[in-house]
Structure 1
Amino acid sequence: MQTQSKITLFKNKLNSPLAKKGISVLQINLGKRCNLACTHCHVEAGPKRTEELSPEVCEQLISLIHKFPEIQIVDLTGGAPEMNYGFKPLVEAARATGKQVIVRSNLTIYFEEGFADLPEYFARHQIRVVASLPCYLADNVEKMRGFGVFDSSVKALQWLNQLGYGKEENLILDLVFNPQLPITEKFSLAPEQTNLEQDYKMFLQEHFNILFNNLFTITNLPVGRTKIHLERRKLYSSYLQFLESNFNPGTVEHLMCLDQLSIDYLGNVYDCDFNQMMNLPAKTDNSATLTVSKLLEAGSLDLISEIQTAAYCYGCTAGCGSSCGGALL
C-alpha cells in the first residue's frame, strides 16, 4: 500500500494560486435525503438521512437569487433534491428571475409516493434535467445504484421524452456516466465523452426509443462512499496517485469551481460540492468562512480570491478533466 505522503500537494502542481472568477453558477445541495443509497455517492445520501434545508436558509437563498442578476444558473442537487425542503420554491424563484435551473435527478424518485408530478413540473418550468445513468447496461447500473433502478430509469426517461425532453429546444435532458468503482489497482479514467455519448444514444434509441441531449462523463472522486470503498480495499492512496499521474494542466482554466459557489443545507459556502462534502469551506482573504447571510449582508458574491484545494482535485484535472458538466476538454 502506497502512502498518501507520496501525493504532491495539488496547489504545488499549479503555476499560481487557483483564482476565483466572477460567480455565475449557484449550486445548492438541498440535503442528504434520497430514496437511493448508491455505492459511489460522494454525498453519502440515502433513505435514512434526514438532513435538509431549513425554511430560514431557503428564504435567504431566494433573496440571493433575486438580488444577484449575475447568477445565470441555479443548480439543485442532493440527495434527491426533489425530496428535500425548498426544492419548488427555489425553482420558482430562479425561473421568475430568468435563470436556468438544473435538477440533478436520480429518475427513480418519480415513482415514489408523492413525487409523480415531477416530470410535468419540470417541463412546465423548463428545468434542465441532468440524470444519473452510469451505464446503458442494466447490470452495471444496478451494481452501483441498486436492484430495479435501471428499469425505473428507462421508464422515467421515456416519460420525460413523452413530455418533449430530449426533443424540444427548451427541454434539455442530459445523462451522467460514472466509471465502475475499482476493486483492484487497474484504474481507468472515463472513456472519451463524445464517442461514449454516441454509443449511449445508439443503444438507448435502438432498445428503448429514448432520446437525450448530452452525455457527461464524470470521474469518481475519492470522496464520500467512493472514498470509503477505496479505503476498505486499501486502494485510496494508489488511486490518488493514479489521478495525479494523469494530471492535465490544460484542464485547470476550465474547472467548475472557478465561477461557482456551492451552498450546503445549513447555508455554508464552499468552492465546490466535493469541498462541501469534505468540510473544506471557502475562505475570504482574511481567512473568514462564508454563509449565505454574509453574502447578502456584504451585497456581493465575489468575496473569495483563492479557491481551496485538496488531493482529490486531481480527479477534476485528470485526463480530459471532470466537472458537473462532464469532461472539460
Structure 2
Amino acid sequence: MVISPPQIKKSTVSITPFFQKINTPLNKQEITVLQINLGRRCNLACTHCHVEAGPKRTEELSPEICEQLIETIQRFEQIKTVDLTGGAPEMNYGFKPIVEAARKQEKEVIVRSNLTIFFEPGFTDLPEYFAQHKLRVVASLPCYLETNVDRQRGAGVYNQSIRAIQRLNKLGYGIDPHLMLDLVYNPTLPKNENFSLTPDQQKLEKDYKAYLNEHFGIQFNHLFTITNLPVGRTKQYLQRHEILHSYVKFLESHYNSSTLENLMCLNELSIDYLGNIYDCDFNQMEGLPAKMANGETITVAKLLKLNSLDIIQEIQTAKYCYGCTAGCGSSCGGALV
C-alpha cells in the first residue's frame, strides 16, 4: 500500500507592519480638510464599496452632530475644503445645510457623487443645486467602458452615469473653470493572484477624455486613479477568494516612500456620522480612531471644546496603508507622485 505524504500547507510570507516599513512616525500637519461621511444610505450597493453602503443602510448624521459640524466650519478659518462623502452623501441628513454653511464661509466643497442619484425621486434637482453653489463634483466612473462599470456597480449604472455627466456638462461642469468635474477610476477586483497596480493616471485620463468625448460629447477636468484598499466589501471579496493576504503583500512589495509626503491623511480629519474623528476614511471604516498624544480618542465636540483642530500628533496606521503608498500612490485626489 502506498501512503501519500501529508499535505503541507504552503507558508505565507509575513507582512511588515506599516509603521516599521516607514521607520518614522507619520505626523499630522495643520488641518485644512474636513472629510465628512454623512452616512451609509445609498441608492447603490457597489461590489468594491469600502463603506459597505446601500439602500438598506439607515445610519446617517443626526441634527446634533450636524450643528457641531457647521459650528466647526464656521469657527476655523484654516479649513479650506469640506469634502462630503457617504454612502451617497446627497441622501443623508445634513447634506444641504453643511454645503450652504461651508460655501457661506467661502470653503471649497467637494461632493463625492455616484451620479445615478440624479434619477432618484426627490433628487432630480441636484445638478442645478451643485451648479448654484459651485460645488466641485468628484464622480465615480470606474471605467469608460459599459461592461466594466455595470459589473462593479450594477446593471444600467453606466448609461445613467453618462446621462448624468451630460446634464452636468450642459450646466457648464467640465467647461466653466468655476464648475469642476472630476471622474474616479478604480480597477476591477482580482479573481486570483494576478494583481496589478492602477494604470498611469495621465495616460488613462487622455484615454477617458478621448473615448467619452468621441462617443458622448462629454468633457471633464481630471481623472483620479484610486487603488482598491482591502477594506469593507473589497476586503470581504478578497477573503472569499482567499487572496487577501497575498494582495496586501503585493501592495507592500510595491511600497514607494516618495508617496509619504503627499498622503491625504496628513492634513485632513475624517469624521463619521456619529461625530467621531479618524485620520482617514479607511481608518474610519476599520474602526481605528485618531488619538491625542495621551491616547484619548476625539470627537467633533472635543475639537470645539479645545478650540483647536490640531490636537493629533501621530497618525494611526495599519497594513492597508500600503494601498495608499504602492506605486504612484493613491488618495481621494488620485495618484500622489
- Letter in structure 2 aligned against 1:155: R
Q: In terms of Rg, which structure is larger?
A: 2
Structure-to-structure mapping, 1:84-103, within 5 angstroms: 84-103=92-111
| Whole-angstrom distance in 2 between the partners of 1:202 and 1:129 | 20
User: Which residue pairs with 2:173 in the alignment?
Assistant: 165
1:67 lines up with 2:75 in the alignment? yes
Structure-to-structure mapping, 1:86-235, within 5 angstroms: 86-235=94-243
How many pairs align? 329
Distance 1:195 1:293, change over 3 A: same
Q: TM-score, normalised by structure 2?
A: 0.97
Q: TM-score, normalised by structure 1?
A: 0.99
1:18 lines up with 2:10 in the alignment? no
Distance 1:106 1:11, change over 3 A: same
User: Which residue pairs with 1:80 in the alignment?
Assistant: 88
1:57 lines up with 2:51 in the alignment? no
* Structure 1 residue 315 displacement after superposition: 0.0
1:39 lines up with 2:47 in the alignment? yes
- Letter in structure 1 aligned against 2:136: R
Distance 1:265 1:147, change over 3 A: same
Pick one of 318, 328, 334 that aligns with 1:326.
Answer: 334
Q: C-alpha root-mean-square deviation of aligned residues, in Å? A: 0.9
Secondary structure in 1 matching 2:178: coil
Structure-to-structure mapping, 1:306-321, within 5 angstroms: 306-321=314-329
| Whole-angstrom distance in 2 between the partners of 1:269 and 1:3 | 38
Which stretches in structure 1 are left out of the alignment for 5+ residues? Answer: none
Structure 1 consecutive aligned stretches of length 4 or more whose deviation exceeds 4 Å: 1-5
| Whole-angstrom distance in 2 between the partners of 1:158 and 1:268 | 37
Secondary structure in 2 matching 1:131: strand
Contact 1:2 1:237 in 2 (8 A): no
| Whole-angstrom distance in 1 between the partners of 2:286 and 2:101 | 29
- Letter in structure 1 aligned against 2:223: L
Percent identical residues = 68
Partner deviation per Cα, 1:186-224 (whole Å, 9 max, x = no partner) = 001110000000000000000000000000000000000
| Whole-angstrom distance in 2 between the partners of 1:139 and 1:2 | 36
1:248 lines up with 2:259 in the alignment? no
Which stretches in structure 2 are left out of the alignment for 5+ residues? Answer: 1-8
Secondary structure in 2 matching 1:110: helix
| Whole-angstrom distance in 2 between the partners of 1:291 and 1:242 | 35
Distance 1:146 1:2, change over 3 A: farther
